[in-house]
Structure 1
């Protein structure tokens, strides 16, 4: 007996609802053709205002009493709803018994968790919030944008994941403070950040804890980027825009996309913006430097910023290099320092977990500084003929490390890939970049949309010339901060063990160390500089001295006349000053200029403060390392003078470094 049209039926599931348990297995009830609301309910006014996703499960059945075979069974949507705000799609989970909550997970899995972003939560974010406060101190981190999706996760606990969609973003510039401990000294530091108040489409489902803002400490909750994921195939219809002729190999339709989840769009006006933005560029400022560190300490402080990809740590006969902001062994796929945070800008490495701890390890790196720069740009116009996963680029100018960024559009959302400073490309894609030749090979996580643009930008370092190196011969001076200040001149004695022999140096009462090491003393500030001592490992400095009990000190503020020709600065202090007790701050203001392409020169005025002290012998100094006399003071009369050419020469050099 033949299978007829009436034998092909659409069958109802156990529950025709949008509840979590909607769906289920097939029943014996057919979906009556032509009956109103036979599968879906009417769209309410609330759903028309806020949007809604309604899903119904149905089963295709050949309802005959025989075992006749029905070939090429299929289902289509022959027409879309007449309401332009309503659309329909078909998809299958290939599960006979699943319910709506399972199907919903498949639909919502169009994105998957990606890499950690440079966006950090500002403190704790509590359950029920529909906005979160975030910040970033890294200028190269892309700001959140309306429509983007992020994933929040506490540490490595995947059960705490929540995907959140951004509906609005407000950005401000803030300055945060944090404490930094070096030895027994605790100082308060500041760091500027960009802060964002991010409005979300849904409330937080749980508390997400985090620390107070800090430039490099480990976060408790991480903000992950998301990558596109093809979790299901959807089938729909689209209207023809042109009639189809017989034998045609292509057709023109109104659109090839259909909404899955209702969304709203918003527009934000941006003024006074550069088309390609700005990029923070790492500029090498010298040749590689080798330093010895005690890596049993959790935090290593470098005297300068660090060029990404230039770190080499030697320990236990192995070499480790920085890669993907981690320290990896060069001769094997071993990560000895599994949890490392490298702050290249400020020159700080935090070792959270270290299996190669040692009190004497050598680290070589290239010093660098960061400059904000207008980037070079390039683009690839995407058509149906060049929609690929992989693209090869040849940059005209050699790229600076950590300056390359590539953005592409997939399903009308932008995704970004960037280099890590060691030749690898990270983000919503992968690849390699050669800093010497400018060649780039990049693989995207998804094929970019047709009629879109792949946009990339980078900066180069050819505009910068290395300045003359200032040579240094001898040991690095050591500065010791005494517990007391106002030290009595002529009472300091420093002893240490060098080559199993006890060495001794004393001060001469005039701000200098004599004996087994030269050096200097700032009596008022309680600081001792030791120039050429190399104590044995594991030994301590021993210092004896006499200090004056706290006395009533005099302080005053003196206005200095404008000085634009580097003339000597003269002023008067009260008469009868005790030698070694002078300590004051001179505030200066200088101009610096930067030449810019296609724009007028950037001129700005920078304020800085110089700390001066006397050496107890009538000289004024501002650098304990050299104890160079830059002025004089008459203790009897209080007359003081500072040589203008001495204190302003360094500022002139700073200005010259800014000129490009």
Structure 2
């Protein structure tokens, strides 16, 4: 074999594109290949873009067959099919996709092409009422604590028809919500009613509950979350965003995305506004029993003594708190409202006691941090350090994948969960976090973390919120005034309050008499009432020596009686003696002096 190029009897003119049986957008469009080759005439394959399509959007799908119909046995080398010219209109796009099998029709083909999303787990929204075919309004209800859906989010409605599950996807164009009060045989309860406007009308009826229930009840039709799944491959064309130089290993295009489903988008910039705060859980006490007493619950609700921290509830009988509003034991499920401390959904369950961590849910300002995602660190595992330390239930991690935003949130148990309540990371008490994204984020995007500070809340004694407050010993000594005046004259002190008086008499030792008793430290200028004084405000009158205080060290002779000489006359009531007192731990040992501290005031009897 030489290096010459293989020869073929086929030419480029033999490569033709043949139409399918039905070039229509009806469910049976497509079908097997025909012998009619496309000529390239205007609107030969697709219809004219109508005014309706220009305003509301439209998807046209056509099945064609690239082939060579020539009655010779010749090899076909290097044949391919491409889009070689983009649309001249910015609102029209082209895509190529491979059919699943020969003769495929539009109904099954579009199911595959639109299968960029797949339904996953059931949401915490319950369908309310009949959602009629042709309507663009989907009405649901949910608990107050459940996060609202987001504009642009995609959901799926499902129900069983003829024994098979039927799915219909819808994207939220706008929504409104309101808290409404409902009533049943147990009394009133509150639920949030959400009305979502869809981007396209429903293709069939979906039956929800006729009226909300305070318990977890499934309607015939349910609302499911969805996630991106690359079940189909698309091929398109983009112009270069920058020239490609010789030797370059990369090219730049405006975008790698193309419009698949028509949407109408309006963006509004909001200036001079702050981001809203974050909800957070603050522990108010250590774990304790929040309900005790035997009860057999056939129905109704169990009211706990206090709101409780998510994932902290422990109930006799092997029930497990999933942190997402449910107590589970095998196939049995109870609903728990953490913010109000209410457990509901009982059906023949004996209760002895329930323990939990008391907590309260509050809203505070949010901190944020950003992790830039590029070709260097793109992946699904991240370990940021959050400062200041985050409060429980306040941490959220938002990222974008496939052009759509996703969020991982902490319910209050320091576990980051996705919309399906699957664990996707942890947040430690000291602020270190481990984030495991469920899908690969887009390149040149960001991982945004938001949280509220934990240290903003403390116990009265300065310890961390939720810790037991230890009782502290209070001094029984009460003294007046706040700012003492030293060197007070004996017999000159008089206290007056709303319904009493007290004063010092001729006693040189500072005895306080009258409607209140106690004593006075003349030298320090402090008054110590010990009984009888019951007043919010006290007036104090006293005379003070104006001479300067003399301080000197005096030598002391050891003995049963210590003696020293001041060397001058001492004014009555002004003598104050400070001396260290120690003890011998053993014979011939050095004295041991205690650590200086504020002593309990004691009178020193003097005769001056």
2:171 is equivalent to residue 165 of structure 1: yes
| In 1: Cα distance, 2:210 partner to 2:360 partner | 28
Q: Which has the higher strand share?
A: 1
C-alpha spacing 1:359/1:19, structure 2 compared with 1 (3 Å): closer
User: What does residue 47 of structure 1 align with?
Assistant: 53
Alignment CA distance shift 1:319-1:103 (3 Å): closer
CA-to-aligned-CA distance 1:383-437 (integer Å, 9 cap, x gap): 3443323333222244333322222223433222223434252227751213324
Shift of 1:141: 0.8
Matched, 1:347 2:347: no
CA distance in 1, matches of 2:380, 2:236: 25
User: Which residue in 1 is equivalent to 2:486?
Assistant: none
Q: How far apart, CA to CA, are the structure 1 residues paired with 2:24 and 2:268?
A: 39
In the alignment, the residues of structure 2 paired with residue 27 and residue 459 of structure 1 have an alpha-carbon distance, to the nearest angstrom, of: 65
Aligned length: 450
- Give the conservation status (yes or no) of the 8 Å contact 1:123–1:213: no
Q: Which of 336, 359, 370 does residue 330 from structure 2 map onto?
A: 336
Task: Give the superposition deviation at 1:262.
Answer: 1.6
Counterpart CA distance in 2 for 1:178 and 1:304 is 24
Is 1:255 equivalent to 2:255 in the alignment?
A: yes
**Does the 8 Å contact 1:211/1:219 carry over to 2?**
no
CA deviation after TM superposition for structure 1 residue 270, in Å: 4.8
CA distance in 1, matches of 2:412, 2:331: 19
Cα distance in 1 for residues equivalent to 2:296 and 2:394: 30
After superposition, residues 492-641 of structure 1 pair within 5 angstroms as: none
**Contact 2:208/2:222 (8 A) holds in 1:** no
Indicate which of 407, 417, 421 corresponds to 1:425. Answer: 417
SS state at 2:316 partner: strand
TM-score (norm 2): 0.66
Contact 1:112 1:228 survives alignment (8 Å): yes
Aligned residue in 2 for 1:28: 35
Q: Deviations over 1:230-267 (max 9, x none)?
A: 12111111111222222210112232221112211113
Q: 2:21 corresponds to which residue?
A: 14
Counterparts of 2:246 and 2:228, CA distance in 1:
37
- Matches of 2:262 and 2:319, distance apart in 1: 53
Question: Does the Cα contact within 8 Å between 1:165 and 1:200 map onto a contact in 2?
Answer: yes
Scaled by the length of structure 1, the TM-score of the pair is 0.61
Equivalent position of 1:202 in the other structure: 200
Aligned to 1:458: 451
Q: Which has more radius of gyration?
A: 2
More moved, 400-409 vs 440-449: 440-449
Distance 1:267 1:36, change over 3 A: closer
| Paired residues of 1:294 and 1:359 also in contact (CA < 8 A) | yes
Give 1:267's aligned residue: 267
Structure 2 CA distance, aligned partners of 1:9 and 1:326?
Answer: 61
2:384 is paired with a residue whose SS is strand
Alignment map for 1:138-287 (pairs within 5 Å): 138-139=144-145, 141-145=147-151, 147-153=152-158, 159=165, 161-171=167-177, 173-178=178-183, 181=186, 187-188=187-188, 191=190, 193=192, 196-204=194-202, 205-210=204-209, 212-213=211-212, 217-218=216-217, 220=219, 222-268=222-268, 270=270, 273-275=273-275, 277-287=276-286
1:373 to partner: Cα distance: 1.6
1:381 aligns with 2:386: no
C-alpha deviations, 1:273-299, integer Å up to 9, x for none?
432x22222211212123345354343
Matched, 1:393 2:400: no
CA displacement at 1:40 relative to structure 2 = 2.1
Q: Deviations over 1:50-95 (max 9, x none)?
A: 2211111111223333333324432111111223322111111331
Coordinate RMSD, CA, aligned: 3.3
Q: Secondary structure at the match of 1:74?
A: coil
Note if contact 2:384-2:434 (Cα within 8 Å) is conserved in structure 1: yes
Deviation at 1:104, TM superposition (A): 0.9
Secondary structure of 1:6 counterpart: helix
Residue 458 of structure 1, CA deviation = 1.9
SS of 1:381 mapped into structure 2: strand
Q: Is the 8 A contact 1:326 1:337 kept in 2?
A: no
- Secondary structure (helix, strand or coil) at the match of 1:19 reads coil
Partner secondary structure for residue 104 of structure 1 = helix
Is 2:96 aligned against 1:69?
no
Q: Does 2:295 align with 1:288? A: no
- Matches of 2:42 and 2:320, distance apart in 1: 70
Q: Return the alpha-carbon distance in structure 2 between the equivalents of residues 272 and 138 of structure 1.
A: 29
